[in-house]
Structure 1
Amino acid sequence: MERLLEAMEQKLYGQKLNIRLLVAAMLAGGHVLLEGVPGLGKTKMARTLATLAGGEYRRIQFTPDLMPGDITGSVVFNMKENDFTTVRGPVFTNVLLADEINRSGPKTQSALLEAMEERQVTIQGDTHRLPDPFFVIATQNPVEYDGTYPLPEAQLDRFLFKLVLEYPGEEAEKQILREHVPFFEEREQVLAPVMGPERIRELQKQLSQVVAEESLLTYIATLVRKTRDSKRIQLGASPRAGIAVLMAAKAWALLEGRTYVTPDDIKLVARPALRHRLLLTPQAELEGGTSDHIIQETLGSIPVPR
């Protein structure tokens, strides 16, 4: 895992925390929504991880005319064999990049609901299992709203993390300029995978060996329940959100080389795991409140287990 992280950090500058959270989400078996303005390397981050992790990688460019069958696949008539044949879509892969997912309408977005939650798709009434591991990385642009369709709460809840990419610092930006190579040269520099799907499955199974004490379970449950009681939040975190925080904290502990969860692990993963699951009241939004601020305040109001 350290080799994977080091290789990614050599390709992506100024995003060290987001890189580690992205890998932690893969270990936890969850999916990630990347949000950031154009040019921050969202697509490159997904492509680099997919290449280094091994396995199959597919990219879908979401557009208004994209149909659900373009993602899951469809049944077509094979004239040569005089029979119907199932043509599998790009969702049958290990790492799927859903680029600009909010460019397509709700009908197309919903094609990923079954795949992300149950690791299967239904084509013309027949259920097909997806490859294992299956990891969705979706991207969206937060500043363009023309021709976009906001993801509904049910879709957002399928993502383990929502990672917000910020502008890099000055040193990181100079490093980007220093290391830049034209695209045609970059294509010739083929990255070698540092692991494969089998190794990822082994690491995912190790999460069951990471221990979270009863006091930490109470800490997570209190955090989740307090979001439902806040007058500034219209829709609080669901039980699935609590599971997301727990699994993410275990994956982060595993990345750190530990077999136990600490309160700091929970604090670190709470914002990316909860920020997209909270729906603020109009009054809170008018006052300039954000889900990140509310999560941070809620964490500060809960006694930390010792």
Structure 2
Amino acid sequence: MTDQVIQTITAVLVSIAFCLLYFAGSNFVLDKIVQLPVGSKNGREIFRSNVRPLLFIAPALLLLGTYLVYPLFETFRLSFYDATGEQFVGLANFRWVFADQNFLLTIRNNFLWLLVVPAAATAFGLVVAVLADRVWWGGFAKSMVFMPMAISFVGASVIWKFVYDFRGPDAEQIGILNAMVMGMGFEPQAWVTIPFWNNFFLMAILIWIQTGFAMVILSAALRGVPHETIEAARIDGASELQIFFEIMVPQVMSTILVVWTTITITVLKVFDIVMAMTGGQWDTSVLGNLMYDWMFRGGGDYGRSSTLAMVLMFAVVPVMAFNIRRFRTEEAQR
């Protein structure tokens, strides 16, 4: 444990030192080596002002190109090759994808996740943001709701394993959910093994995590709703539900869409929760798990795993495009 801490601290210090050395050195080179003819001082300053931003973003561009852009094109290329990545097979992998029963099952599961998680997390976050501002202990409540955001998906899955834990029909149960069920006189269940419904039990974990994110963003947006408008509505006899649905929600709708699309992208990339809870068993697999299985289990299949990765990317792109287009529209209206 001590060695790991020392290695972590050393890595952080070395990274900071490298960044300082790079930026100091690049500025020195820019100031000393770049020499323009005498009498072109303004030209030299313009040149430096144009080059200096490139020096700052060059490391980020290099890392993005190495670890994001290149893998994207390489994955796209491999999706047209066989399992070894050596023989060109054309669109055979894409034809296989849409005829494979496991893929169709994962598409169904992904659709369920997309239908439930973003809507539920956004709705719960909005409700908590509204109600927490009406009680004196609202700050503490917000802290508790936001706390799961500090936990990794795997860590959250371990916590929820104890919630859903099942020790057999005749054994003593330690799972909170089974304790509640037995307290009401029903039999305990192995919740994560129940087909179809187990997907919703897994979704609850991501909703639990993402509600805090939605609450923080929407709470900030709600503070921008004019109090004069709300007070005028109350004077006119509007109920609290009418104020909520007809005044608050319309005025923060753009923020709601931002939160919804952000959570949607997270849902499309979900992998950790399913892997930690069920490993994709009992009809809970999603695209990320199926891609992992084809690539890292059973010898590895470069072609089919790359094809699944491209399908996942194609699913994310429309959501991102919608978000970017809406953001540009709002910017143009300001």
TM over 0.5: no
State the TM-score bracket (shorter-chain normalisation).
under 0.3
Name which one, 1 or 2, has greater alpha-carbon Rg: 2
Q: TM-score, normalised by structure 2?
A: 0.25
**Greater RCO, CA 8 A, separation 6+:** 2
Q: TM-score, normalised by structure 1?
A: 0.26
Higher relative strand content:
1
Higher relative helix content:
2
